[in-house]
Amino acid sequence: MLVKICGLTSLSDALAAIDLGADMLGFNFYPGSKRFLQLEECAAIQNGIIRSGRRTIAVGVFVNASRRDIETICTTCDLGYAQLSGDETPDFARSLPVPWIKAIRPREPTDASAAARQFSPRRQAAGPSQPAASIPRLLVDAYHPIEYGGSGTTGDWKSARALARKLPILLAGGLDPANVAAAVEQVRPAGVDVATGVEASPGVKDHEKMRQFIRSARSVAE
C-alpha cells in the first residue's frame, strides 16, 4: 500500500512524513493552491532531505503548467514524477520528459472509465534516483466544480472501486485518519493520497494525524 503525503511546505514536515512511513511526498506548484511552493522553497526542502540521508519519491503537482516549466521544476528540485492535476491531455502527458501521474476528478463512473482509456494504465518504474517502486499512472480525486484537488471533498468510492478492479490507482479526495481504512477496504487502491486530512492548517502537517493515517491505511491493506 503506497502512501503519498501531499501539500508539504516545510522540511520538518517532509522529514516527519518519511520517518512515519510515507512512500511519496507531494509538492504543489499550482499558484492557486493554499499549499503553493516556489521552486526555490522546494529545492531547499529536497536538499535538506538529501542531506539527512533519507530517500523518498518526490512528486511535483502541476495544474495546466507548460511543458517547459514542468521540466525545469522537476529537474531543479530533483522530482521523480509530475502529477498533472489540471486539464492536461493524453498527448501533452506523453510528451513530457519525466514520468507522470494524471489526476482525474470524475463526476460519474463513465468519466472515470473514459480517463482510464485515454491515459495509459501501465505502471511506471521509478527513476534512477528514486527508490524502486511501481507507481500507478492514475490518481482518482474527488469531483469539484472549481478546485483542482486539495478541497477536502470526499470522493466517489464506488466509481473508484470500479476503476481499481481494472487497473492500479492512487485514491485521493477527503481522506483522513478516520475514514482511510474504510476507503481502502471498499476501493482496494494501490495507494492513497492525502493533504487536507492530515493538516493542522493549510500546508502545515499534524504529525500525529500523519501517523494515524499511515497506520490505518496499511492495517487494512495488510
- The whole-angstrom separation of Cα 17 and Cα 31 is 23
Please identify every residue annotated as catalytic: 6, 141
What residues pair up with 204 in beta bridges, in sequence order?
Answer: 201
Alpha-carbon distance values, 149 to 6, 61, 74, 131, 205 (Å):
11, 10, 20, 26, 17
Q: In terms of Cα–Cα distance, which of 146, 188, 172 is closest to 61?
A: 172
Instruction: Kindly provide the residue ranges of all beta strands, DSSP E only, lying in 85-153, ordered along the sequence.
Output: 100-104, 124-125, 134-135, 138-140
Residue whose grid cell is 492535476: 85
